[in-house]
Amino acid sequence: MADINKKRIIITAVIGGTIFAGVVLVVDKLLGRNFSWQRLVFYFVFGVIMYGFLTYRNFKKHNKR
């Protein structure tokens, strides 16, 4: 069974948020939008929160088994 490890959840969330923000940045560039730090920071924070929540929920679900 997987233990709920906070360090592992945080590392996964930061990596996932970084990848998500990078993908959104590339898509914005392909669509011809200008670069915006506010948008990039928003997507990074949003990605970190969502990936952290999903990883935590996944560990919790696998811990019940």
Rounded CA gap, 30 and 11, in Å? 29
Task: State the Cα–Cα distance between residues 58 and 44, nearest whole angstrom.
Answer: 21
DSSP state at residue 32 = T
> What pTM, to 2 d.p., does this model score?
0.82
Alpha helices, H only, 1-65: 6-30, 37-64
pLDDT at 61: 84
> CB burial class (10 A; 0-12, 13-18, 19+) of residue 39?
middle
Dump pLDDT digits (tens) for 6-58. Answer: 899 999 999 999 999 999 999 999 999 998 999 999 999 999 999 999 999 98
Helices 6-30, 37-64: crossing angle, 10 deg rounding: 140
Please report the pLDDT score of residue 2 as a whole number. Answer: 54
